Amino acid sequence: MSIQEGTIGATILATVKNTDGSPRDISNATVKKFVFRKPDGSKMSVDVPFFTNGQDGKLLFTTAQVSDTQPAGNWRLQSYHEQPGFRGLSKVGTFWVLRNLFEDTP
């Protein structure tokens, strides 16, 4: 997956999975976050909603400001959630934020 740097309205969808690779039912999760490690080493953490109802393990983030996709480079992502009997992070996923040809709209 890749996103253009500075894009507002881009969606990032991730699925929380069990150790066997099946989607984890997180419908009873009381805390749901995405934690991003940007290419410059800084961290961004955002609260995220279910994509549907949580039974499919899917969480969604929609970028709302230019800084949500800056700087360009290889980004790392983990989901964090808390539900009865579990509190922790998913495995790490990666995606690219691509540099634009111009800093401002031409």
CA 65: distance to chain centroid?
Answer: 15
* Structural domains in the chain (count): 1
Range of the domain at 80: 2-98
Contact (CB, 8 A) for 105 and 12: no
Q: Is residue 106 part of a domain?
A: no
- 75-85 pLDDT tens trace: 999 999 999 99
In angstroms, rounded to a whole number, what is the distance separating the alpha carbons of residues 5 and 36? 15
The predicted structure's pLDDT at residue 105: 60
pLDDT in tens, 25-43: 999 999 999 999 999 999 9
Residue 105, domain member (yes or no): no
Whole-structure pTM value = 0.88
Residue type, 61: F
Q: What CATH number is given to the structural domain containing 69? A: 2.60.40.3350
